[in-house]
Structure 1
């Protein structure tokens, strides 16, 4: 069995591959694969002509981020100990992958790991997706070292350390291949957004730790597939967050969390409507509607007992929105 496969999921990303694949091929030690989600552009022709060393898995339909990785990785299951799941819009740096895999190999209690993720456009600034390591507040809202809600910090070297986190970013994350498949991979019902947080939550509930290593750095463009400020992304985040919390929390805890989230997010919908952003208001309502209609089909996650104790949430914040919006806290260090 080989050590690691670097796996990029692609959908109509010819321009992203042209821009970012050169750094991956130049700086990576391990096999590079592209899973193509039935692209209709010239992605495959471009890869075949210019990067014959990159191995391809071509799917017959677009399964989204979650399903695309599940279907694609199933085709190489049993060949590698680790996968590095890498967005197509990420520029990597020297030794980035070696640092991550060597760390995983000497820390067998960890099933996922992420590097420091900075912005490709502003390379002295953290990226929205993952930044310096991800956490969850008591109500399931994600935040990061280097990014509190929409407030993003400059990289001053503070987060060059190694710590335990609640979740690793899907923009660039190492996962244990065995654990990924054992847990059924990503939840395909998510289609896209927050599936990596759900996977990491299930990993922690199964007794695995999630890590962050700041000595490895990558640069993420972000928004290449779906703009961060789009109604579609808001809808997916609302729906998928409720799905994730329902699946991983007890019925009692979920009912308490749901009550708080419902109030906050309905107020947000009203605010969007008052600003004339009706499509965003509708996205919130549609997210709740679709969660409720699909709720009975969501299977509660039950960790298999293998002698491992659940790894508790690392984040200590009760409600990150309150800290950010009301108390005005804009950086992780001030929480």
Structure 2
């Protein structure tokens, strides 16, 4: 089985200097690529000189995570793609259990490893933790991380299990499935595109899996951190895109509920003296309305099925019922 580990880079020389050594050292059974999104620093000069075994792909523009990977993966010969953030430290034998799972389970199309916090290695990391799910209103959450509550890794999620979505921080997918789904939705630019892809895979009958025997450490927020209103905008807008495209059942009702809840979130940002984030939610809604005809056309082209949610409302469970960990849901 041919594995391609593909690291998307944009002006990330410092991250490549720090984290590429572990990828090269512990990925002997894979071919490693750095896909550059038209960087203006000397990232590629550095990689070429320091790691001659690493293949370089030069994208013509910075299309973000979604278009960047769509462009880069077109020319790669592999059975499985591993899309790896440039701020991840991998561990010895991290690829072995993933490859074994793909070999044993032909319907498993997408895999995520255990993602721990690089700066606090006893705890899960925010972006993905031990695999993702959606609630009834399509709000994402993870095993090991619900909202801002991040669990300590005590081995409670060591067992391999089916999940609904895998983190884009370290995202394995079979090439044939990626191509069948036409890759990521490039209009997302960044954030939520992996959830959209996993939801489409689910609607086509594929399985996403968490493999706890594989472990990586993620810095997180290296491109856009949580304090950046641009991240708020992309998350709220792309979440609405994802829901509209993929949900089965009474989608209109779900969208109305989400718009109301988003409005409450915007008000909460205002009370917290974060007007830029409140404005970002408003801009996300206006962009969603503008793009709604296009998104509805995408919806018509894809199958849909229900029963995607793990719990009725993660907001209610967390804030009202005070269920702070996945096992209490």
TM-score per shorter chain, which class? Answer: over 0.9
Task: Give a deviation string over 1:267-290, Cα, whole Å, max 9, x none.
Answer: 121122233211010011011010
Q: Aligned-pair distance for 1:316?
A: 2.3
Q: Aligned-pair distance for 1:204?
A: 0.7
Structure 1 segments (4+ residues) deviating >2 Å: 301-304, 309-313
Structure 2 equivalent of residue 175 of structure 1: 173
Given the alignment, which residue of 313, 319, 328 partners 1:319? 313
CA RMSD, aligned part only? 1.4
Secondary structure of 1:127's counterpart equals coil
Secondary structure of 1:32's counterpart equals strand
Structure 2 equivalent of residue 39 of structure 1: 39
- In the superposition, the TM-score normalised over structure 1's length comes to 0.94
Structure 2 equivalent of residue 227 of structure 1: 225
Structure 2 equivalent of residue 330 of structure 1: 324
Q: Which runs of 5+ in 1 are unaligned?
A: none
Distance 2:306 2:273 in 1: 43
Structure 1 equivalent of residue 106 of structure 2: 108
Distance 1:84 1:271 in 2: 37
Secondary structure of 1:225's counterpart equals coil
Given the alignment, which residue of 282, 304, 327 partners 1:285? 282
Q: Aligned-pair distance for 1:296?
A: 0.6
Say whether the 8 Å CA contact 2:97–2:213 is kept in structure 1.
Answer: yes
| Corresponding pairs, count | 326
- Shift of the 271–57 alpha-carbon distance from structure 1 to 2, 3 Å rule, reads same
Distance 2:199 2:268 in 1: 31
Distance 1:271 1:85 in 2: 34
Structure 1 equivalent of residue 83 of structure 2: 85
- In the superposition, the TM-score normalised over structure 2's length comes to 0.96
Distance 1:150 1:170 in 2: 19
Structure 2 equivalent of residue 55 of structure 1: 55
Say whether the 8 Å CA contact 1:204–1:311 is kept in structure 2.
Answer: no
Q: Aligned-pair distance for 1:312?
A: 4.7
Q: Which runs of 5+ in 2 are unaligned?
A: none
Structure 1 equivalent of residue 268 of structure 2: 271
- Shift of the 272–125 alpha-carbon distance from structure 1 to 2, 3 Å rule, reads same
Secondary structure of 1:31's counterpart equals strand
Distance 1:31 1:99 in 2: 17
Distance 2:167 2:214 in 1: 14
Secondary structure of 1:23's counterpart equals helix
Given the alignment, which residue of 210, 220, 237 partners 2:235? 237
Q: Aligned-pair distance for 1:198?
A: 0.4
Structure 2 equivalent of residue 24 of structure 1: 23
Distance 2:261 2:94 in 1: 39
**Higher mean Cα deviation, 132-141 or 270-279?**
270-279
Say whether the 8 Å CA contact 2:137–2:312 is kept in structure 1.
Answer: yes
Task: Give a deviation string over 1:13-42, Cα, whole Å, max 9, x none.
Answer: 101001100110111121000110000111
Q: Aligned-pair distance for 1:233?
A: 0.7
Task: Give a deviation string over 1:243-264, Cα, whole Å, max 9, x none.
Answer: 01101124x6221112211221
Say whether the 8 Å CA contact 2:123–2:152 is kept in structure 1.
Answer: yes
Structure 2 equivalent of residue 186 of structure 1: 184
Say whether the 8 Å CA contact 1:134–1:169 is kept in structure 2.
Answer: yes
